[in-house]
Amino acid sequence: AEAEAKASKAAELKAAQEAKAAARAEAAAARKAQIEKDSAPKQSAEERKAAAAEAAAKRAAEAEAKKAAAAEAAAAKKAAAEEAAAARKAAADEAAATRKAAADEAAAKKAAEAEAKKAAAAEAAAKRAAEAEAKKAAAAEAAAAKKSAPSESADAKKAAAAETAAAKKAAAEEAAAKRAAEAEAKKAAAAEAAAAKKAAAEEAAAAKKAAAEDAAAKKAAEAEAKKAAAAEAAAAKEAEVEAKKE
């Protein structure tokens, strides 16, 4: 947008310089014509009137040509500004679509990872439950054997106690693993929500930036059009003053 503004300003300065040069050339031509008129033999009133009318028509034609050129330049600037705005909008839309696709892909990947973790945790929990059941059954079997055999040795009692302790430890580990899996799932869900919010915020910021640039370009184009119209009006007024002087 700054480059466009600089280029537009340079073009405007060049047009103003050309207009001044044309005005000076026109004034010089008018002075030369006046000198020739003063030094030439006296013309009749009709001849002078015809010459003045011809000169006025010529100046009017030149003013009309300048006006048409200014209008054409203003239209070209407006078209260029609209084209640049459309290009920026298309680029912003494409970037937004790319960001959305990346966010969707990341969300899908995270969801798949969460599902895989959940399935692994469920499998581990099932395995631990099976082991606990087996230990529990073994403990029950040992207890039954102990009940049916009062003369069981101290080593067997010690083994049964150790087995019971192992079963309790396995149950505690299973509960801890379950809690850890739930915490991991909550953490993954929170991270996914944060990523989605961030992507939405970035997309909204990009859209606001594109809209602001578009509005700025539109204002600049309108300002250029107003300047061109003012320059055109000034040139027409100057030509009119010169015609009146003649």
Would you state the pLDDT for residue 119? 93
Question: What is the spatial distance between Cα 183 and Cα 171, in angstroms, rounded to a whole number?
Answer: 19
Question: What is the spatial distance between Cα 236 and Cα 230, in angstroms, rounded to a whole number?
Answer: 10
User: What letter represents residue 154's amino acid?
Assistant: A
Q: Rounded to two decimals, what is the model's pTM?
A: 0.39
Neighbour tally for 13: CB within 10 Å: 10
3-state helix, strand, coil in the chain (%, to 5): 95, 0, 5
Neighbour tally for 240: CB within 10 Å: 13
Cβ–Cβ under 8 Å, residues 80 and 225: no
Question: What is the spatial distance between Cα 26 and Cα 62, in angstroms, rounded to a whole number?
Answer: 10
pLDDT tens digits, 38-83: 776 555 788 888 988 999 999 899 989 988 988 898 888 889 888 9
Residue 106: is its pLDDT beyond 60? yes
Tokens describing residue 21: 């040069």
Question: What is the spatial distance between Cα 26 and Cα 82, in angstroms, rounded to a whole number?
Answer: 36
Tokens describing residue 215: 């509005």
Nearest to 14, CA basis, from 4, 24, 6, 26: 6
Tokens describing residue 199: 């992507």
| Section 215-231 average pLDDT | 83
